[in-house]
Amino acid sequence: MLKSAYLKSFGCEIERIAAKFLFDDTICLENLRPYDQQVAQLTQIEQEARKLFDLLQNILCRPAEYSPKCMHKSLMLIQYLLAHGSDFCVEYTYELVLQIDFLQEYNSAVIMNEKNILYKLKGGSADEGEPVRNISEELTTLLKINTTKSLLNMRAMNALKMAQQETSSSVGGGGGDDLLVGFGGVDHGATKVRQNKATAGGFGSGLAGKKKGEYYRNKMLHLFNVELTSTKLLFITSRVFVYPI
């Protein structure tokens, strides 16, 4: 792919790193962590973050030009950066809401059959788009029920928790958990969330249904690895309230 070769050779630093693993289908998902960490560090520089999200936008807008694995890794990178990238990543991700939402209907077989007549003659190709659809649904839900401000607040809470864990580990010698839950990390189980029973319009009530509301609240908490001890979170529409027990 011409664009891939160009970025690997002549792109800025963050473009070279991203192109190396996004466009290479031989790099499996289990080996992405080092690349994600490098990219997350570089997003602290606004110009680098802007270049990266321009690249991601180009990929998400052209699903027919990129492989299902490339689409999947692009969405996983966005998910990782929401939790561990700079604040610029949260702002720029909201510019991609429509593209991410659209990928809930992604079907690689339909795209390939329309793109290449040889696939039709051979009876069509198998759909490899399920992972893309799943992560697209998770990201779309997360972005639609939150605002930039509420996600930044969640990140700040997670950063505080990480600092507390590092302090306790250095004092007590504990190993600590894998905090990168948003990208293939450890699922620590359901996190208890107090529901605002007095507010009929709260997330989880109404059309979405109570069970679906609880499911997506837990997915959000797992994404940012927020484990509450002395405080509890209450989600109402797009706002986050923190109050003492």
Q: Which amino acid is at 191?
A: T
Longest dimension (CA), the chain: 66
Task: Work out the angle between the directed axes of helices 46-60 and 13-22 (0-180°, nearest 10).
Answer: 30
**Which tokens is 213 given?**
């509301």
In this prediction, the residues of the chain whose per-residue pLDDT falls under 70 are: 1-6, 8-9, 115-125, 170-245
pLDDT at 162: 82
Render pLDDT for 184-199 as a digit per residue (tens, 0 to 9): 333 333 333 333 333 3
Please provide residue 98's backbone torsions phi and psi, each rounded to the nearest 5 degrees: -65, -40
**Which tokens is 220 given?**
């959000």
pLDDT at 51: 95
Q: Which amino acid is at 149?
A: K
Q: How many CB atoms lie within 10 A of CB 54?
A: 12
pLDDT at 111: 82
pLDDT at 39: 95
CB 158 within 8 A of CB 226: yes
Render pLDDT for 17-48 as a digit per residue (tens, 0 to 9): 999 899 999 988 888 889 999 999 999 999 99
pLDDT at 233: 38
CA terminus-to-terminus distance, the chain: 56
